[in-house]
């Protein structure tokens, strides 16, 4: 599996990036990481990461924003599974193993967990997302995000997903709230939410959500991401419930008798199908 991290390598965040790496070294399953330098000098990479062959750097010649940096880093992912992460957060010790084993045993497209707020004194507070634990069909998670202003249904960085699905539902192009768009992967495949913490979200003065300008674009960013997921969910469900047709392209007489009128129109061309294991 690969962890994708975008960073501007700011001096006040390098220790946090080192802590993120340390949390990866405590994982019990194989992993690698791609660090996308958003217009920053890759020479700033802390020594523990620079010395780790599992960590690869992707220098970008100018600032492109976290969404674009992460999307470009997807080009460097060669593993079956991928996980987004921020440069100032951490994973819990069993984060990778518990989700990977679930994915391998069930064949679902994604597996998520709870997250913890990591406070400056080292204490943690558990955050239980609105989505209930268990297995969820493609698109079902969006039921737990009824309005853009509501709490998001899952922690985006708690999701370990199949890389082919993440490429189909990347970060979007928002300048903030881009990780909301990452939740769209839950619209493309069935997945499982585990009631265990897998990610620690660091609370500190330098985080983006603490800046005065953050709230200026928060409502439209949420609205965009919310509509993205709602549209994908609708498209997937339309394709799933579409009437079957005969090989010649015409519905069978049985289908004509059993399908109600509102389901007789053809599905939208190009609508995505839920992911299914081979």
In the chain (278 residues long), the average pLDDT of successive 10-residue segments reads 96 96 98 97 97 98 93 97 96 98 98 96 95 97 94 96 94 81 94 98 73 78 90 79 55 39 39 46
Residue 271 is predicted with a pLDDT of: 40
Question: How far is 242 from 62, CA to CA, in rounded Å?
Answer: 46
88-126 as b/e: b if 16+ CB within 10 A: bbbbbebbbebbbebbeeeebbbbbbbbbebeeeeebee
Residue 208 is predicted with a pLDDT of: 58
The answer, as to whether pTM is greater than 0.85, is no
User: Do 263 and 218 contact (CB within 8 A), yes or no?
Assistant: no
Name 162's bridge partners: 81
In a 3-state reduction of DSSP, which class is residue 219? helix
Residue 267 is predicted with a pLDDT of: 38
Residue 117 is predicted with a pLDDT of: 95
- Beta strand pairing call for 90-91 and 124-127: unpaired
Q: CA 131 from chain center: how many Å?
A: 15
Residue 239 is predicted with a pLDDT of: 67
Q: What is the DSSP letter of 275?
A: B
H-run or E-run covering 20: helix 14-25
Residue 264 is predicted with a pLDDT of: 34
Q: What is the DSSP letter of 29?
A: S
DSSP 151-211: PPSS-GGG-EEEHHHHHHS--TT-SS-HHHHHGGGGGTB-EEEEEEEEEEEE--TTSGGGS
H-run or E-run covering 68: helix 66-73
Quote the tokens at residue 2: 């690969």
Residue 210 is predicted with a pLDDT of: 55
Question: How far is 168 from 236, CA to CA, in rounded Å?
Answer: 13
Placement of tokens 């995505």 in the chain: 272
| Largest distance between two CA atoms of the chain | 69
Quote the tokens at residue 136: 């969820």
Residue 205 is predicted with a pLDDT of: 75
């Amino acid at each position: 599996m690969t962890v994708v991290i975008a960073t501007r390598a700011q001096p006040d965040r390098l220790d946090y990036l080192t802590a993120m790496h340390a949390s990866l070294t405590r994982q019990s399953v194989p992993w690698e990481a791609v660090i996308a330098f958003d217009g920053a000098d890759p020479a700033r990479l802390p020594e523990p990461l620079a010395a780790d062959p599992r960590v690869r750097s992707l220098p970008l010649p100018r600032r492109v924003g976290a969404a674009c940096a992460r999307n470009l880093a997807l080009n460097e992912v060669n593993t079956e599974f991928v996980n987004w992460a921020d440069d100032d957060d951490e994973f819990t010790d069993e984060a990778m193993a518990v989700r990977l084993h679930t994915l391998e045993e069930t064949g679902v497209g994604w597996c998520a967990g709870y997250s913890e707020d990591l406070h400056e004194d080292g204490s943690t507070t558990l955050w239980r997302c609105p989505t209930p634990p268990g297995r969820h069909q493609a698109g079902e998670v969006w039921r737990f995000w009824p309005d853009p202003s509501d709490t998001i249904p899952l922690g985006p960085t708690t999701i370990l997903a199949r890389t082919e699905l993440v490429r189909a539902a990347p970060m979007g192009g928002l300048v903030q709230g881009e990780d909301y768009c990452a939740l769209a992967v839950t619209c493309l495949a069935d997945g499982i939410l585990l009631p265990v913490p897998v990610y620690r979200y660091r609370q500190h003065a330098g985080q983006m959500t603490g800046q005065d300008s953050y709230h200026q674009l928060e409502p439209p960013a949420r609205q965009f991401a919310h509509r993205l997921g709602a549209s994908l969910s609708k498209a997937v469900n339309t394709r799933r419930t579409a009437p079957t047709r005969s090989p010649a392209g015409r519905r069978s007489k049985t289908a004509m008798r059993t399908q109600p009128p509102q389901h007789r129109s053809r599905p939208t061309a190009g609508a995505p199908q839920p992911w299914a294991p081979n």
